[in-house]
Amino acid sequence: MSKKILNPPSPKMLINSIRQIGYSFESAVSDIIDNSISASAKNIDIFFPVNSDEKMYTAFVDDGSGMSRKGVINALKIGSSFEGERKQNDLGRFGLGLKSASFSQCRKLTVASKVNDQLVAFGWDIDDVEKSNEWFCNEYSSNEIKAIPQIDKISILKNGTLVVWREFDLISSKLESVKDLHRQLSNILELTRTHIGLHFHRYLNKKLVISINNVPIVGLDPFLENHLKIEKGQLSSLSLKAKNNQEYTVQIQPYTLPHYLDLSDEDIALLGGIDKIRAGQGFYIYRQERLIVHNTWFGIGAKAEVFKYARIKVDIPNTLDDIWDIDVKKQNAAIPAKLLAHFRKTVGDIQLRSKKKTRHKQLAIGQDDNKIWNKKKARNGKESYYINLDSKFINEYINENFHETSYSKIYSLLEIIGSTIPFDAIYNSVCNQCIDTDLDSEKEREIIEIAKNMALKFAQVKKIGIDKSLQAILNFEPFNHLDIKKVLKELGCE
Ligand SMILES: Nc1ncnc2c1ncn2[C@@H]1O[C@H](COP(=O)(O)OP(=O)(O)OP(=O)(O)O)[C@@H](O)[C@H]1O
Ligand SMILES: [Mg+2]
C-alpha cells in the first residue's frame, strides 16, 4: 500500500507564483473593494500620497464589520478558511483574493482591523518569506501600528479595516527611474476611477461611496437606465441547478441604447466616451451586482458597428459560481451550456434592434453595405461622403485580422480618415482631367490576394463551392472591380 508523505509547497516559490496570476492594477483594487463590500462597508476610501517625497503606498479604508485578531490572521492565510455558507452579499469565493491581488502589485501587505474598538494589525513581507522560506507573518506592536500610513482614518471608527500596499517592485521594474513610480502610480490610480465606476456602478448609484483621495467615484451606468430613450427588452428569469442540486435564478435583461444623436455630453461621458459606445456592445455579467465580464458577445455574435447599441445585462447569484466558471480574479465567466440557446436568441433579437436603430437614422441618407464609401446628407441639407464601417469588406476584414479589443481604435481611425477627404483637390484634379483612377498592378495583386483568402474562408464557413463564394464576394467593394478571370486563375479554378 502506498505511504502518505506530507509534501507542503515551498513558501518562497508559491508566494512568487501567486504574484503572477495576471491581475491588472484595477482588477487587484477591485478585489480589495469586494472584501469591503462583503463586510457590509458603506464607505471605502482609497488613499495614496500626493506629495512625491512621501514613500508610495496605496491604502484602503472601510467602515465594514472589521475583523478580530483571529479573523485577520485567517484573512492573511493563503487560502483563508471559510465555515458554512457565504452570505448573499459575499463577493468572495476562493479565500485568496486579498493576498493574490495585493501580492500582484506589492511586496508588503498590511491589514489593520478593528472590531468594537479593538485594533490589531498583521502583515506579510515577501522579503521575510523569501529569507526564511516559512509562512511567518508579522504582528505589529502598538508603536508599529502608529506608523502605518492612514492609520488615523481607522482609529476614528468603531469597526473597520485598513489594507495597505507598499513596495511596488513589479511596477518599478518597468520604469526607467524609481522617481517615476509616484507619477506612474498616481496615473494608474486615477485611471482606476473609471474601472471602479463601471464595475461597481450598481453599488455606487445607491448604497456605497468609494473615493480616491477624498474625491468620490461616479458610477458609470453602461445602460443609461435613466435616459428617456433607453429601450428595455423583455426581462427573462431562468432557473439553473447549482452543484448542491438547488435551483437559483439568472436574470437576463436586454437593452438598446438611444441613438448617439439623442445622447447629451453627460450621457456620452457616462458611457466612457463616444468610442466606447461601439466597444461597449455585448454582455454585461454581474455577480451579486458586481460587474465581472463585459464588452463581449462570448462568440455568439460578432462585434459590428451596427450592433453598437445592443447590450445585455445578466445577473447571476454567487451560488452559481461553479456553473459559470468564475475565476480567482473575478474577471472571467463562461456561459453555462443550458443557457446557450436562450442567449443565442436574445443576442439575435437585440442585435437586430440595434441594427434597425442605426439604419433608421442612416436610411434617409442611403446606405449600401456593398460599398466602402457612402453618401450622407448633413442636417443643413448638404451632402458628404464617409467610410461605411458596415461595408461587408471592412467588417469581414477587421473581424478576420484584428482582436476585438482593437476594433474601436480601428473604427476611430477609419472615421478620422473618412472625415479628411481632400474634396477640393480631388475636384480640381477631376476638372483638369488629370486624375488617375486605375489600380496599379501591385495594389491589384494585394486585393486579389485578399479576395482569394476571403473566398476560401467563405466557402469553408458557409459550406458552399468556391465559385459561389467568389461570386458573392465579387459583388462588393473593393472586389467588384476585379477581373474575375484573374481571381479564378489565382484560385486554380479556371
Ligand atoms: N475589508 C475586510 N473586512 C472584513 N473582512 C475581510 C476584509 N478583507 C478580507 N476579509 C476577510 O478575509 C477573508 C479572506 O479574504 P480573501 O479576499 O483572501 O478571500 P475571499 O474574499 O474569502 O475569497 P476570494 O479569493 O474570492 O476573494 C474574507 O473571507 C473575509 O472574511
Ligand atoms: Mg476576497
The CB of 303 under 6 Å from ligand 1? The reply is no
Quote the pLDDT of residue 392.
83
Whether ligand 1 lies within 6 angstroms of the CB of 72 is answered as: no
Integer angstrom CA distances of residue 461 from 349, 447, 449: 23, 21, 18
Question: Which DSSP string corresponds to 366-433?
Answer: ---TT-SEEEEE-TTS-EEEEE-TT-HHHHHHHHHHS-GGGHHHHHHHHHHHHTT--HHHHHHHHHTT
Nearest alpha-carbon partner for 97 in 292, 256, 323: 292
Give DSSP secondary structure letters for 235-253: -EEEEEE-TTS-EEEEEEE
CA angle 160, 189, 289 (to 5 degrees): 60
Least Cα distance to 347 among 304, 257, 283 occurs for: 283
SS3 107: coil
- Strand ranges for 171-226 from DSSP E: 209-212, 215-216
Q: Whose CA is nearest to atom 27 of ligand 1?
A: 97
Q: What is the spatial distance between Cα 76 and Cα 90, in angstroms, rounded to a whole number? A: 18
85: DSSP letter:
P
CA distances from 147 to 52, 107, 112, 140, 454 (A): 18, 18, 12, 10, 65
491 sits in which H/E element: none
Tens-digit pLDDT string for the chain (494 aa): 899 999 999 999 999 999 999 999 999 999 999 999 999 999 999 999 988 888 999 999 999 999 999 999 999 999 998 887 888 888 988 999 999 999 999 999 999 999 998 999 999 999 999 999 999 999 999 999 999 999 999 989 999 999 999 999 988 888 887 778 888 888 898 889 999 999 999 999 788 999 999 999 999 999 999 999 999 999 999 999 888 888 999 999 999 999 888 899 999 988 888 778 888 999 999 999 999 999 899 988 888 888 999 999 999 998 888 888 888 888 888 889 899 999 999 999 999 899 888 765 544 456 678 888 888 766 556 677 888 887 888 888 888 888 766 776 787 788 788 878 887 778 777 777 777 777 677 787 888 888 888 888 888 877 888 888 888 888 888 888 777 777 777 767 66
Query: Which residue's CA is the closest to the ligand 1 atom numbered 22?
Result: 95
The β-bridge relationship of strands 57-62 and 43-47 is: antiparallel
Neighbouring-strand partners of residue 46: 60, 212
| Ligand 1 pocket check for 44: Cβ under 6 Å | no
Per-residue pLDDT at 296: 92
What span, in angstroms and rounded, lies between the C-alpha atoms of 317 and 333? 13
Give dist(CA 224, CA 263) in Å, integer.
10
Whether the CB of 80 sits within 6 Å of ligand 1: yes
**Cell numbers for 153:** 482614518
| Rounded alpha-carbon distances, angstroms, from residue 365 to 382, 388, 436 | 11, 12, 28
* CA pair distance 17, 442, nearest whole angstrom: 51
Distances (CA, A) of 379 to 8, 225, 361, 386: 72, 28, 12, 15
Q: Say if residue 222 is preceded by a cis peptide, omega within 30 of 0.
A: no
Please tell me whether residue 58 adopts helix, strand or coil conformation. Answer: strand
- Closest C-alpha residue for ligand 1 atom 31: 75
* Residue 297 and residue 347 in contact, taking contact as beta carbons nearer than 8 Å: yes
Task: Give the pLDDT of residue 423.
Answer: 79
Q: What is the DSSP letter of 337?
A: G
- The residue whose CA is least distant from atom 19 of ligand 1 is 95
Give the class (CATH, top level) of 11-216.
alpha beta
160 Cβ closer than 6 Å to some ligand 1 atom: no
Contacts within 8 Å (CB) and 24+ apart, 15-19: 15/78, 15/103, 15/124, 15/126, 15/129, 15/130, 16/126, 16/130, 18/78, 18/96, 18/99, 18/100, 18/103, 18/104, 19/103, 19/104, 19/126, 19/170
Grid cell listed for 134: 516559512
131 CA to centre of ligand 1 in angstroms: 27
d(CA 252, CA 261): 27
pLDDT of residue 363: 46
Q: CA 157: distance to chain centroid?
A: 34
Q: Which of 91, 81, 167 shows the shortest CA–CA distance to 123? A: 167
Q: Say whether 108 sits in a helix, a strand or coil.
A: strand
Indicate the residue type of 291: L
Q: Are 435 and 338 in contact (CB under 8 A)?
A: no
The partner residues of 285 in beta bridges, in order of sequence, read 293, 314
Q: Which residue has the cell 476571403?
A: 454
Testing ligand 1's pocket by substitution, the residue of 63, 80, 86, 115 carrying the most ligand atoms inside 8 A of its CB is: 80
In sequence order, which residues have a C-beta less than 8 Å from that of residue 46 and are 6 or more positions away?
29, 58, 59, 60, 61, 189, 210, 211, 212, 213
Which residue CA neighbors atom 1 of ligand 1 most closely? 36
The enclosing H or E element of 283 equals strand 282-287
Instruction: Give CA–CA dist 200/36, Å, rounded.
Output: 12
Beta-carbon contacts of 478 under 8 Å, excluding residues fewer than 6 positions away, are: 372, 393, 447
Annotated domain spans of the chain:
11-216, 231-359, 373-421
Judge residue 460's burial from the number of C-beta atoms within 10 Å of its C-beta, 0-12 exposed, 13-18 middle, 19 or more buried. Answer: exposed
**Domain 231-359, CATH:** 3.30.230
Ligand nearest to the CA of 61: 1
